[in-house]
Amino acid sequence: MTDIVQALMDEVYGEWQKEDNMGKSKWEVLDGFSEAHKIAVVFGNFNYQVENGGLNQWIYNGYFRDDAKKLIEYLEVGVGFDERFQTVLDTVYKLDQCAQETECDRYGCYRDLDDDDGDNSFIGDMINSDAFDTWYYKHCGESDWWEAVCEIIEKTKGRETVPDGRNQPDAKQKTPSVLDQIREAKAVPKQPSKRKSQEKTHGEEL
């Protein structure tokens, strides 16, 4: 993950830790941030979950229910310049269709009426999640993947709306693009990521 994406996520995490926000959901906090922060958090959470436990972990931990619509929206921006986004989009879209057809719960579970045992079924079993995991580990998560994610951030800049004005640059100042910041950061020794040291405090990973 690039330092830029990690920094955007850390800003959201830091805001969520404030006492006034302790009872808020992730998206209630994100509503006060720019589109760039939302993209960083959605892709960051997706990558963190898939790399640690596969696509099924992302579903079962509630991220699919919380983030799928936004992830689909952002992936649709990226399909025009990176074919990897199309593969992820096809998979998440298929999961979304399965969720609508089965009316699954927050964790991707649903009651299969064709199951004589009456056990719950899981929407992750309706697609080849193992094959997706193998593909993702091979093609995504490295620096070029995050540069592509930052390109999505660049392409969505014009529609950013921040209610309280947070993180909006002065119109008189020329702000370097996210990609320019990434290229500059490559010349600076990388600092250890804070992500692994952050503990869940709201019943869910940010």
172, 177, 183, 186: CA torsion to nearest 10: 80
What pLDDT, on a 0 to 100 scale, did the predictor assign at position 179? 55
C-beta separation of 152 from 77 below 8 A: yes
> pLDDT (tens digit, 9 = 90+) per residue, 30-45?
999 999 999 999 999 9
Longest distance between any two alpha carbons in the chain, whole Å: 67
Residues counted in the chain: 206
Confidence of residue 1 (pLDDT cuts 50, 70, 90): confident
Q: What is the mean pLDDT of the chain?
A: 83
What pLDDT, on a 0 to 100 scale, did the predictor assign at position 115? 60
User: Measured between alpha carbons, how far is 55 from 91 in angstroms, rounded to an integer?
Assistant: 10
| H helix or E strand, kind and range, residue 185 | helix 178-185
User: Measured between alpha carbons, how far is 33 from 103 in angstroms, rounded to an integer?
Assistant: 31
pTM over 0.75: yes
End-to-end Cα distance, the chain: 15
State phi, psi for 192 to the nearest 5 degrees.
Answer: -60, 140
> pLDDT (tens digit, 9 = 90+) per residue, 167-179?
444 444 444 555 5
Q: Residue 183: is its pLDDT beyond 60? A: no
The CA–CA distances, whole Å, from 27 to 19, 64, 196, 206 equal 16, 13, 21, 10
